[in-house]
Structure 1
Amino acid sequence: MDLSHLGAPIGPMIRVHGGFANRMYRLDTDQGSFAVKELNLVDRPWTHPAEDVFRFEQAAFATGIPMPEPISASHDMLVHRWVEGEKVPEAPVPGAYAREIGEILARIHVLDVAWSHVSVEDTTSRDWAGLAARAAATRQPWADELASNVETFLAIANFVETCERPGPVVLTHRDIQPWNLLSREGRPVVLDWELSGMLDLSGELGSTALSLAKGPGFNDIKPAIFRSVLDGYVAGGGALPPPGPSWFVYMIGGWLGHTRWNILRCLAGVEASTGPDLALSHESVRNGVRGLPDLFSRLPELEALLL
């Protein structure tokens, strides 16, 4: 990494563990403290549109969106000024916090930013039976659970492929989850913009509102918190799309793809040089194998949150 543009280091660069896709470091220099993100170029399932994302972040930061200042971007590295704040637990957030997130989304969606990257949507994979067989042959600790859910995963894949998205499509963050947020004096700071891109509005709102209204599972969803995100969006000038399953298809499809990606990393059985540690990949697979069928079974219950 060439980090000379950040100043003279005043200590070693420190690994910050916990990233689900990339690797993060903190670097303190005579010019301040920086978050240095090393992008996974080895096996990530998408091409990172570094220039477009950086331009989008600059525009958001310039309008006062609460976020780390973007410093530089390249095909393999993102740098932001370090921001202090409290981690947001995976639990229902306070109503005022949820409402402000909705307002932030409304402000993001009206940014006039050129977006040149054209994403190529891969066909949803249906190789779950083969993955289960490989997991059993290599004695993965979650192999039995995966095998017992193959038909459910095929049904989920079919739902992701066939669910109708009503639009509009907006340029947005696409990954506002508790682990991509900080709380500073009780107010949100939005981190980790590298997944930014075009997305059906219902998918962005549904994913964000649900993630902020629940705990680690789906047994304790707070409808009032879910609605607070939507109320904030409307208060910020946004218009809600029609209710329906499209509000949750992006969350389900993203989790499905993330689970499969981590299954492949676990089947390789080696500690990769970039991306999440192998132990974190195993944790992600267990969470997906158990959580996705539960989430999928609750679609009618989730749609009722929109009424």
Structure 2
Amino acid sequence: MTRVHGGFANRMYRLDTDQGSFAVKELNVADRRWTYRVEDVFRLERAAFAAGIPMPEPISADHQTLVHRWVDGEKVPEAPVSEAYAFEVGEILARIHALDVEWTASTEEPTPQDWPVLAQRAAETDQPWAGELACQVDTFLAIAHFVDTCERPGPVVLTHKDIQPWNLLARDGRPVILDWELSGLLDLSGELGSTALSIAKGPGLDTIDPTIFRAVLNGYTNAGGALPPPGPSWFAYLIGGWLGHTRWNILRALAGTEASTGPDLALSHESARAGIQGLPDLYARLPALQTLLA
């Protein structure tokens, strides 16, 4: 079994056997950000795979380990994908949303507001990004307030929730959807906005291709999906998810020791700095991002 480095939340291994190759994911059990609904997610994955959604075959799952059949493909870079690829991603989303899988709604916790405390702890422990965080405390509090109060128009759909470049492969130029652990109920606008923006832009926000963004939405409607009304809710889930990811990595960095599961400590520092620098820019561009929905 060979370690595959680079995971942002868990640890991945490739297992080669006489029955084929498998992706073995060791779930982070030390400081998980959410309760992982292993049975529910596995049931959704099995239904999606049976319906022909392009994804690795789910083999087994428990609260420590996930096993899928290994899928070879090209990594998707953080850059605008082709229009055909984006169109097919939109079609896949519509097909996922049409699945009939039982799922029990769960209560979401309010967005944490402890950014002043985190900034103080970062300064006291001489974190390399402490000064940057201290300068952005008010912005992070404003972002948390936006995430909690932004009106979601609905409908709520059962979906993947995390279709980003690092959770995609290209096989013969077509998408393969990886990493379903975040699956659950989500306002449709948040799913569409997060997915479309993530595959229509480069590493920052200066290279957004509106044609690719629209291709995702065109694919969605082509497969029978209906678009929700435009508004800031299209980007609230993306902003909130990145906010939670940044806070989690800040807490990992403040601990000063590398946990036995989850990302390496160096990657947590990298993710923390990326969020501290990138989130204020993303939040400031919210009005401009909404023009993509016109």
Q: Measure how far apart 1:42 and its partner are.
A: 1.0
Gaps of 5+ in 2: none
Structure 2 matches for 1:94-173, cutoff 5 A? 94-116=82-104, 118-173=105-160
Q: Measure how far apart 1:204 and its partner are.
A: 0.2
For residues 271-300 of structure 1, give each alpha carbon's deviation from its aligned partner in whole angstroms, at most 9, with x where no partner exists. 100000000000100110000000000001
Counterpart of 2:173 in structure 1 is 186
For residues 224-268 of structure 1, give each alpha carbon's deviation from its aligned partner in whole angstroms, at most 9, with x where no partner exists. 100000000000100000000000000000000000000000000
Gaps of 5+ in 1: 1-12
**TM-score computed with the length of structure 2 as normaliser:** 0.99
Q: Measure how far apart 1:199 and its partner are.
A: 0.3
Q: Measure how far apart 1:136 and its partner are.
A: 0.6
Counterpart of 1:79 in structure 2 is 67
2:267 pairs with one of 260, 276, 280: 280
For residues 123 and 188 of structure 1, what CA distance do their matches in structure 2 show? 34
How many residues end up aligned between the 2 structures?
A: 294
Q: AA paired with 1:55?
A: R
Query: What percentage of residue pairs aligned between the two structures are identical?
Result: 77
2:210 is the alignment partner of 1:227: no
CA RMSD of aligned residues (A): 0.6
Structure 2 matches for 1:186-205, cutoff 5 A? 186-205=173-192
For residues 285 and 30 of structure 2, what CA distance do their matches in structure 1 show? 35
Range with bigger deviation, 228-237 or 39-48: 39-48
For residues 74 and 276 of structure 2, what CA distance do their matches in structure 1 show? 30
Q: AA paired with 1:109?
A: H
Counterpart of 1:305 in structure 2 is 292
For residues 30 and 227 of structure 1, what CA distance do their matches in structure 2 show? 44
Counterpart of 2:256 in structure 1 is 269
2:28 is the alignment partner of 1:43: no
Q: Measure how far apart 1:77 and its partner are.
A: 1.0
Structure 1 runs of 4+ aligned residues shifted over 6 Å read: none
For residues 54-76 of structure 1, give each alpha carbon's deviation from its aligned partner in whole angstroms, at most 9, with x where no partner exists. 11001100111100000001011
2:223 is the alignment partner of 1:236: yes
2:256 is the alignment partner of 1:256: no
Q: Secondary structure at the match of 2:213?
A: helix
